[in-house]
């Protein structure tokens, strides 16, 4: 091995901005590396990461060359092939934005109220998980606020029931009272997960409740992971070990990090809207699970607008109750968006 190779470590991206990434080496003492390296990219384009809004995401596996002259820094020289990527479409950049890489499951956090239930956001995240072929779980937080039977609550219940009907698991929790956290912990344990949700649903509170000592700022959406060097408003990886009483936090500097972390959670900043990535209007049906069996079956085939055509199997399924009317409404909005009809006019679906 040449002297140069001896300075190259393998590791995982924990977080990053557009060009500086925190990489945790697999071996904490590799080539004298500290627990985490602040790395820049070598050259402008990283092989395999071309065409994305951001070249790397938490969960990416990379090779980095340690800078012997500046302790704690390095240069990312290569990226390992990805198992999967969770992305969304970045309208500003007109390209895919990486949220997380190499994950086992996507959690979508929602609330029945405060903030109000937003099923269309859930539809979009679940759609994206399907596109990426990553299993998804819905988490309904703030169940301590669910007393009373206002209309908003009934609407949310009905829609959540429909998500269950089409096969999604819903974990009901309260970060405030601790209800349901054991089940959530069990679902997270030993896996790589990405947590998504609209701002205010209590993602940070849930993480704080699950992980003693984490102390993410509650209520403040951005800059939660700003540790001084550069402001990070993108996703960030939290590495955890399981203990008899739950999870314990591993800081990148912990000597045993690489060996003992067995649970990874990628926390994402609260999202206002979610534009699906990597599909077109023709393939949308194949990625919404109760629509999928009807793919290609309409009389007008791919030219069906699924609004009025005779022999439209989607409309028939809506009338028969096999597709919830509100999911259908979501479908139409996304369909139009993908058709470019209302490009740039998304509301906060
Ligand atoms: P995030 O934006 O998703 O990270 O949400 P935060 O964790 O910052 O929480 C937003 C607000 O909701 C804060 O005022 C929290 O105290 C509150 N909150 C979070 N979880 C719960 C819960 O389970 N029950 C209630 N009643 N409030 C909660």
User: Of all atoms in ligand 1, which is nearest to the CA of residue 221?
Assistant: 2
Residue with tokens 């996304």: 334
Distance 274 CA to ligand 1 centre (A): 21
Considering the domain architecture, whether residues 212 and 248 belong to the same structural domain is answered as yes
Return the CATH number at 171: 3.40.50.300
Write down the pLDDT at residue 154. Answer: 75
Write down the pLDDT at residue 86. Answer: 97
Helix (H, G, I), strand (E, B) or coil at 193: strand
253 lies in a domain?
yes
Range of the domain at 306: 284-342
Considering the domain architecture, whether residues 259 and 171 belong to the same structural domain is answered as yes
Contact 201, 270 (CB under 8 A): yes
- State the total domains in the chain: 3
Considering the domain architecture, whether residues 132 and 152 belong to the same structural domain is answered as yes
User: Of all atoms in ligand 1, which is nearest to the CA of residue 141?
Assistant: 23
Give the span between the Cα atoms of 167 and 126, in whole angstroms: 11
Considering the domain architecture, whether residues 151 and 219 belong to the same structural domain is answered as yes
Return the CATH number at 35: 2.40.50.140
Considering the domain architecture, whether residues 175 and 207 belong to the same structural domain is answered as yes
Considering the domain architecture, whether residues 219 and 111 belong to the same structural domain is answered as yes
Considering the domain architecture, whether residues 102 and 175 belong to the same structural domain is answered as yes
pLDDT digits (tens, 9 = 90+) for 140-165: 999 999 876 666 777 899 999 999 99
Write down the pLDDT at residue 255. Answer: 55
The predicted model scores a pTM of: 0.91
Residue with tokens 């989607």: 314
* pLDDT-derived band at 221, boundaries 50, 70, 90: very low
pLDDT digits (tens, 9 = 90+) for 17-56: 878 999 999 876 655 556 789 999 987 777 878 889 999 9
The mean pLDDT of the chain is 87
Whether the link from the prior residue into 115 is cis, omega within 30° of 0, is: yes
Distance 315 CA to ligand 1 centre (A): 39
Considering the domain architecture, whether residues 94 and 186 belong to the same structural domain is answered as yes
């Amino acid at each position: 091995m040449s002297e140069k190779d001896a300075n190259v470590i393998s590791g995982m991206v924990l977080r990053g901005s557009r060009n500086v990434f925190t990489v945790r080496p697999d071996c904490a003492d590799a080539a004298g590396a500290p627990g985490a390296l602040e790395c820049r990219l070598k050259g402008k384009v990283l092989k395999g990461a071309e065409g994305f809004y951001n070249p790397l995401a938490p969960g990416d596996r990379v090779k980095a060359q340690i800078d012997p002259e500046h302790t704690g820094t390095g240069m990312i020289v290569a990226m390992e092939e990805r198992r999967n990527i969770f992305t969304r479409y970045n309208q500003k950049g007109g390209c895919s934005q990486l949220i997380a890489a190499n994950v086992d499951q996507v959690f979508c956090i929602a609330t029945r109220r405060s903030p109000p239930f937003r099923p269309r956001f859930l539809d979009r995240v679940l759609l994206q998980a399907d596109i990426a072929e990553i299993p998804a779980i819905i988490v309904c937080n703030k169940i301590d606020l669910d007393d009373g039977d206002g209309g908003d609550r009934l609407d949310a219940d009905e829609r959540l029931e429909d998500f269950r009907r089409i096969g999604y698991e819903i974990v009901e929790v309260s970060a405030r009272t601790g209800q349901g956290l054991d089940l959530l912990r069990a679902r997270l344990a030993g896996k790589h997960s990405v947590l998504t949700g609209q701002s205010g649903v209590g993602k940070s509170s849930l993480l704080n409740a699950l992980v003693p000592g984490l102390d993410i700022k509650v209520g403040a959406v951005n800059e939660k992971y700003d540790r001084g060097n550069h402001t990070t408003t993108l996703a960030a990886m939290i590495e955890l070990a399981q203990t008899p009483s739950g999870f314990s936090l591993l800081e990148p500097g912990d000597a045993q990090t690489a060996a003992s972390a067995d649970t990874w959670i990628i926390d994402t900043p609260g999202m206002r809207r979610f534009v699906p990535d990597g599909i077109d209007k023709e393939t949308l049906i194949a990625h919404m699970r109760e629509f999928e069996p009807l793919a290609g079956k309409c009389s007008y085939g791919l030219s069906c607008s699924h609004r009025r055509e005779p022999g439209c199997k989607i409309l028939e399924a809506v009338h028969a109750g096999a597709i919830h009317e509100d999911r259908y409404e979501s479908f139409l909005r996304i369909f139009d968006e993908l058709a470019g009809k209302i490009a740039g006019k998304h509301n906060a679906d």
